[in-house]
Homo-oligomer: A and B are copies of this chain.
């Protein structure tokens, strides 16, 4: 098993465990056991638990963007609908237990600035992306529209924890359709 495969195993196991139970609730021992590596193998790849968390968040962010970008075409007719659809796909695949970035903010605010920044920057980048889409589509109130779509995305993520990704996603899609129609008229 090559070096990078070990690192990959650690990242995958740790991401799953942190996502399922929280950053502070999961110990390195469990991560080491479940990813079948030695303690020092983890510490050779990541200098501390918190640096491991940073790398997991960066990975997860790029995964999320690949969901958004693969589903939303350039010059799409309905970019917001496609964004919500892509987000729902993400929820089905990797988002059934809430938003890992919000949880990072919640668990590390005031105690680890780097982790908090990674998470906050991600959220602000999504907001900026929505704003760009709205502006490109010619909405004069693109600022408000971006916030509102963001509320829908975050709401769907949270509701997926309670009623499942399917139900939460469908309702969010239904709402964005209604809103788009209202905004056009």
Interface 1/0s, chain A 57-80, versus B by CB < 8 A? 000000000000000000000000
Which of A99, A148, A156 is packed against the most chain B CB atoms within 10 Å?
Answer: A148
What's the interface size class on A, roughly? 35 or more
In the bound complex, CA of A127 to CA of B162 (Å): 10
CB–CB A175/B167 < 8 A: no
Contacts of A181 in B (CB 8 A): 182
A82 interfacial by beta-carbon distance below 8 Å = no
Contacts of A127 in B (CB 8 A): 162-163
Number of copies: 2
A34 interfacial by beta-carbon distance below 8 Å = no
A38 interfacial by beta-carbon distance below 8 Å = no
In the bound complex, CA of A109 to CA of B158 (Å): 15
Within 8 A of B (CB), among A134-161: 144, 147-148, 150-159, 161
A51 interfacial by beta-carbon distance below 8 Å = no
